Amino acid sequence: MKKVVWFVLVFTLFGCSGNGEKFDGVFEGRPRVNPPYVVGNYPGTEFIFAIPTSGERPMTWTVEGLPEGLTLNEKTGIIRGVVKEAGDYGVKITAKNAHGSQVSELQIRIGKELALTPVMGWNSWNTFGQHLTEALIIETAEALIANGMRDLGYNYINIDDLWQLKERGADGHIVIDSTKFPRGIKYVADYLHERGFRLGIYSDASKYTCAGVCGSLGYEEVDARDFAEWGVDLLKYDYCGAPASRDTAIVRYRKMGEALRATDRSIIYNICEWGRRKPWEWAKEVGGHYWRTTEDIRDAWDLRESGTGLYGIMDIIDVNGELADYAGPGFWNDPDMLVVGIFGNSSSINSGKVQYGCTLKEYRTHMSMWCMMAAPLLSGNDVRNMPDSVLNILTNPEIIAINQDQLGIQGKMVKKEGDCEIWIKPLYKGEVALAVMNRGEQAEKVEVPLQLAGFVNKALVRDVWLHRDLGEYESLKLDLEPHVTVVLRLTQH
């Protein structure tokens, strides 16, 4: 008879890691080069990449195998330049500090694809809404450097709605709100690029945006050229004020997609029509790199019984989790931005007679499941001022590595027991991420045979939140508190 080994893991306190292995913070210890380990760019367009590296500063970087046209700043770890020739380029990176060095490999793919791993960064809307300024963007960039988020891969800083005036200028161009951006968008882009970030911006496939300022309908080529000249690297393209017709949406999104592709920049295209016209079936063909699959996220655990028609974290998982077959490198399902650490303090995404805000364990489940679903990770909290408990969720390198895995497979739910769901995400080199989520209101016991993850015999098990190797097991038995998610990384014995 086959022997079954049980491991009992009881979560009674959120974030309990007292018995785990020591895990250095972002700016402690030896260098650790973090993902992504594969990046894409169009030929003949600007390439910007800050090597995401944890470890004590000061640190220096060296590289071998950079394609012609790229250079490395050895003191900042930022690679910039323009590669004219398409091709796959293998680059050897060495990061070194007082504690030692680490060697890593980066694949730079110059060709037709961008966003080879899910986009990571920050977006202004969820917390700040209309309170958007040049100062906020610059302060956010400096905060992402100071708190280590850039060194974990958060490299897009996205300006959302209300950066522009309501009416287009007499010359046919969108008018930047000079009270918010007195030195213009190009100044902000240049500032971010010098620090290894990329800039995202927002518009709408209608005359006006969701907030009622100037959209891009009929001026797609003009606006795309302006965005490129300013140094924009990502466009979030909304659909407020546009006809409900799927055919119309496809035409309008294709028009902007073609305009973006005709510029001299590698601009990632976010199609944001809230999943109403099933964009996962057509967004890739019109130039999209990731597409919203649901209505806007709210800072809440579950809103199904609220009667509001709004979407909390669980509601979105139920929709996005069914769409794994449509995702892959360069093309991602987008279950909307992260609400980790907002704690109900948003006038932009929270409305109605609902109590908003989540607990830390709920935010950790939110982060866990977005990583399991290979979703874009765009934080929306005030990163200039957040407690360490929130920062630790957003900067866990092990959960981020699951999200940024270069195989690019969206995880799927494979089994449900009571209110507990078991999810599997295949990883590069034969490893597997396994998540067990208790979405219910009571503690649950759940058995997890590792055959569900494709392991015939024992697997080596590591808890990515405890940062702890647990040992070799054939099966696990977990005792989960309400709203807790355990994420394990499994390796063949």
Active-site residue list: 238, 296
**Alpha-carbon span 160 to 210, nearest angstrom:** 11
Region label for 232, one of left (φ > 0), alpha (ψ between -120 and 50) or beta (otherwise)? beta
Of 68, 150, 135, give the one whose Cα is nearest residue 397.
Answer: 150
Strand partners, 433: 425, 489
72 membership: H or E segment, kind and range? strand 70-73
CA 53 to chain centre: 17
- Distances, alpha carbon 250 to alpha carbons 97, 239, 247, 272, 296, in Å: 50, 11, 5, 12, 20
Contact 478, 465 (CB under 8 A): no
Contacts of 226 (CB under 8 A, 6+ apart): 173, 174
**Alpha-carbon span 427 to 284, nearest angstrom:** 23
450 DSSP 8-state letter:
G
Quick one: tokens of 159? 């300006």
